Structure formats: structure tokens, C-alpha cells
Structure 1
Amino acid sequence: MALLLLLAVAGLAVGSFLNVVVWRVPRGESVVTPASHCPSCGAAVRTRDNVPVLSWLLLRGRCRDCAAPISARYPLVEALTAVVFVVLGARLGASWELPAFLYLGAVGVALALIDLDVKRLPNAIVLPSYVVALVLLAVPALVDGRWPDYGRALLGMAILYGGYFALAFAYPAGMGFGDVKLAGVLGLYLGWLGWGPLAAGAFLGFLLGGVVGVVLLAGRQATRKTALPYGPFMLLGALIGVLAGSGLAGAYLEAIGA
């Protein structure tokens, strides 16, 4: 319980920073400077007004200086990141692999929102994630002797990257190369956990994207030519794969009598 409480607090703090990342990275701006400020009047956000979720509630969603409305998305992103951290902590416990998956949870939230906003998965986030994942997963491989898992992670990376690359090559209009690069990162993490999570996480991304696409078409909210950001579905599918991929894969194999 103490671990989950700590992760909730950490998630709120990280979520506050992710709001900066989501806004600035697509615009090519620094996430360090200038300090957080009101986009309407330019006033710097005071320290007491920068407490995740709570400050937004106390300010009633408005800037202290100019009373301009502050989007409810800010506290929602903070709360979402906290939830992601807690469920990952509940799944993995106090393990050496947990920091690697917390990093995935954080960048996953940022990438999903950026893709929804601008239909792009920035290299500035995706490419460094390869290095970070390889380094952080090497720690449990070294400490706990989980080199077979590390090798499977590398295979998972190659399989998903190669599969998505083939899809993008065959149908460039249906998949961006940003999705291909993200697939390799997700393959690393899912492969680390096992073949079941890898298969489930990859399949669920396609399933979720397909279901949402059909619903939008049926509701005439989209056409066959509408470009839908696929990154959020990949990330949500991967999260489900991390949390329940082994069980889902086992249930499927049992259902088909394999």
C-alpha cells in the first residue's frame, strides 16, 4: 500500500510535467525554460498554484492573475498519470523492472495526447525511449539474472518493428512511420514480459483501433479517408498487454484447444 501511495504522488508530479511536454514538444520548444506560465497573460505560475490537481480545484480552473480559464485537461492528465503509475505498481510490485515500465507509462501518456492533438509521434520522445528502455531493462537482467527475458525483449522489438514496417511499406496511407518507431519500443517492453503479452498487446492495438474506426464510421463522425491517430490505440493495447496479456493469451489458447 505504501508503494502504491508513493507511486500515486509521483504520478501526479510527473503528470504535471507531462502537461508541459505535451504542449511544448510538438512546437519545438524547451520543456525546461521558460517556467510554467499562463498562456493568456504570461504571468508565471506560482509555486502554490502548481500543486497537481489540488491547485486547479482551489483556483476553480482559472488563472490567479487574469482569471482566464485553465483547461480541465491539466488535472485530468495528472490524475491519469497517477492511475497508470498505480496500476503498473500493482502489477509489477517493488521490482527492478518497475522503473522501466513507469517510464513507459509516462511517455505513453504524453505520446497518446500529442498524437491526438497533432497526429504525430515526435522523434524527440520516441527515439530516446529505445535507449532508456534498453538501459533500464538491463538493470533487472543484470541484478536478477533475467538475460533470457532481455533477449526476448530484443526479439519483441525486432518483431513489432518489422511487422509495422511491412504494413507501412504496403499501405503508406494507413500507417505513419512514427507508428513503426513506437512499435519497436512497445515490442521491447511486451517481449520482456513474455510471448503472451507481446501477442496480446500487439493484437489489442489493432482491435481497439478497428472498433473505434467502425464506431466513428457508423456514427458518421468519420469517413474511410479520415486519418485517425493510431498511437493511442497502440499504447492502450500495450498497457492492457502489460497488465493482463499473459492471462488473455492463455485464455485464448485454452478456448481454441491449443
Structure 2
Amino acid sequence: MSDVNTACGPLIVGLVAVVGLVIGSFLNVVIWRVPRGESVAHPPSACPSCGSRIQWFDNVPVLSWLILQGRCRHCKERISPRYALVEALTSVLFALVALRFLSDSDPVGEVGILLPLLFLTAVGVALAFIDLDTHKLPNKIVLPAYPVVAVLVCFATLLMGWEWTSVIRAALGGLILYILYFVLCVIGGMGFGDVKLAGLLGISLGWLGWSYLIVGGFLPFVLGGLYAIVLLVLRRVGRKSGIPFGPWMILGWYLSLFVTEPLSAWYLTLIFGT
């Protein structure tokens, strides 16, 4: 049985990566249309230059862009490499989450933990690119994600056989980060879109554990602060320039999935020497 579980691990990771490619393709539609108030379901995908409908065989994630050499089949105008980048990035991020949380001993039994984390990874990719483009975090994405994450956290808790106290911790995690960012918003350090995103990310961090909430809540300020310092030193921005903070919140959340346990172990060793 252990050999079967060991063999299933790579298959699950590969499947998750393929799913990430497909979802990444859909995220390109979300990133382009949601800020413009357009439907993500209709009309079908089309060339941004000539408007020609993109056929299914030209819509294979990453591969179609490479085969067509980044150009429309009809008008030959260049298609931004960001489309392929979003697809590949989503696939890699999905695979890394699967590698991080699926053990070799029982990968099938631990698939449940991926549900809320992969969903938030996809949401994070869309929001990060939209925030970079528009300096906004659309309510149409953030607010519906709340009930979805809540349901996925409860479902994953049931599948994993975790204590239901983790769900209570998830609710508290979302509330804590929401209040923290709300205070920063009131004193003028954040936009309200950041506040709503903080509550969403806090749910998953609290669900995983208090240490994840601390690291995931702290990292965005470190990353965003370092980025702002670099820009100031290079004189790319002024002291009063607005810098989108959403991407740093999302990056901090994602990195916390990987660095929290090593950081916690290092801290305990530093304090207790064991």
C-alpha cells in the first residue's frame, strides 16, 4: 500500500500542475475583463487586435502561444507573452503547493488540504496582476471568494479529519488581519481593497495555524517595504507615490506556506537551544 501511495504522489502533483495550466488560461480572461466590467463567460476569447475568435486548438495553455510564436493566427499581430506567463506561473505555483503539503506516505488522504490553498493561489494570481495594472482589488473577485474559502476550509477540515477548532481559528485569523488592515486604512496606510483581501487571506492562514498567521501577516510588510526602499534609492518613485500593496500581500501569503515551519523551528532552536 505504501508503494501505491508513493507512486500516487507524483501523479497528483502532475495533475495539479495541468489543472493550474487550464485555470491560468481562464485567469487571463479574468485579469483582462473584470477590471473593464465585462463578462468572463461571454463572448468567447478573441484576438485583442483583430477580434478574431480564438479556436480551441489555438487556446492550449502555453503550447499554442509557443507554436504561433506569440502571434495571432489571423492578423499576425503580436500577442503579449504575459498570457503564457500567467498560465505557466499558475501551473508552477499549483505544483509547488502540492509538493509542499502532500506527504510521501499518504498523498491521496491529504488532497483535501489543497482545496482552499489552490483556490486562493488562483485568486491571488488574478488579483496581483489586476492590482499591478489598475491599483485596484475588485470586489467582484474578493467578496465572492469569502464564502468559497469558508466552504472549502470546512470541507477540507472534514476530509482531513482535523479538529473543528481549526475552523474557529480560521475565522479568528480572518478577523484579526481584517482589523489590523482596517486600522492601517483608517490612519492612511492602506486602501480598503487591501483590508478586504487581508481578511480573506487571514482565514486560510489561521486555519493552518497561528504561526502561519503571524508569518503571513508580517511578510507582506517586509517585502513591500524592501521594494519601496529599492524604488526610492533608484528614484523611481517619490515618498508620496502610491505602490500597489496587494501583490505583496499575496506574495507574503504564498511564501508563508513554505517558510513558516522552518522559521518556527529556527526560532524555537534560537530560544530554547534544542
1:136 match: 152
Provide the secondary structure at the position in 2 that maps to 1:225: coil
1:59 match: 68
Deviations 1:55-76 (A, max 9, x none): 0000000000000100000000
The alpha carbon displacement at 1:142 in A equals 2.7
Question: Where in structure 2 are there 5+ consecutive unaligned residues?
Answer: 1-9, 103-109
2:186 match: 169
Deviates more, 1:133-142 or 1:241-250: 241-250
The alpha carbon displacement at 1:30 in A equals 0.1
The alpha carbon displacement at 1:253 in A equals 4.5
1:234 match: 249
Q: Does structure 2 conserve the Cα–Cα contact (< 8 Å) formed by 1:97 and 1:139?
A: no
Q: TM-score, normalised by structure 1?
A: 0.96
User: When the two structures are aligned, how many residues end up with a matched partner?
Assistant: 256
**Percent identity between the aligned chains?**
53
Deviations 1:17-65 (A, max 9, x none): 0000000000110000000001111100011100000000000000000
- Find the partner of 2:174 among 148, 157, 173: 157
Matched, 1:187 2:196: no
Q: Does structure 2 conserve the Cα–Cα contact (< 8 Å) formed by 1:197 and 1:249?
A: no
Question: Where in structure 1 are there 5+ consecutive unaligned residues?
Answer: none
Instruction: Return the alpha-carbon distance in structure 1 between the equivalents of residues 205 and 139 of structure 2.
Output: 21
Instruction: Return the alpha-carbon distance in structure 2 between the equivalents of residues 141 and 3 of structure 1.
Output: 20
Instruction: Return the alpha-carbon distance in structure 1 between the equivalents of residues 269 and 145 of structure 2.
Output: 35
- Find the partner of 2:219 among 191, 204, 207: 204
The alpha carbon displacement at 1:256 in A equals 4.9
Question: Which amino acid in 1 is paired with 2:131?
Answer: D
Instruction: Return the alpha-carbon distance in structure 1 between the equivalents of residues 97 and 50 of structure 2.
Output: 38
Question: Which amino acid in 1 is paired with 2:191?
Answer: G
Instruction: Return the alpha-carbon distance in structure 2 between the equivalents of residues 200 and 244 of structure 1.
Output: 8
Provide the secondary structure at the position in 2 that maps to 1:216: helix
Matched, 1:32 2:49: no
Instruction: Return the alpha-carbon distance in structure 2 between the equivalents of residues 158 and 253 of structure 1.
Output: 27
2:117 match: 101
Q: TM-score, normalised by structure 2?
A: 0.91
Instruction: Return the alpha-carbon distance in structure 1 between the equivalents of residues 29 and 97 of structure 2.
Output: 23
Question: Which amino acid in 2 is paired with 1:249?
Answer: S
Provide the secondary structure at the position in 2 that maps to 1:96: helix
Q: Does structure 2 conserve the Cα–Cα contact (< 8 Å) formed by 1:111 and 1:121?
A: yes
The alpha carbon displacement at 1:225 in A equals 1.1
2:163 match: 146
- Find the partner of 2:88 among 60, 79, 90: 79
Instruction: Return the alpha-carbon distance in structure 2 between the equivalents of residues 236 and 254 of structure 1.
Output: 26
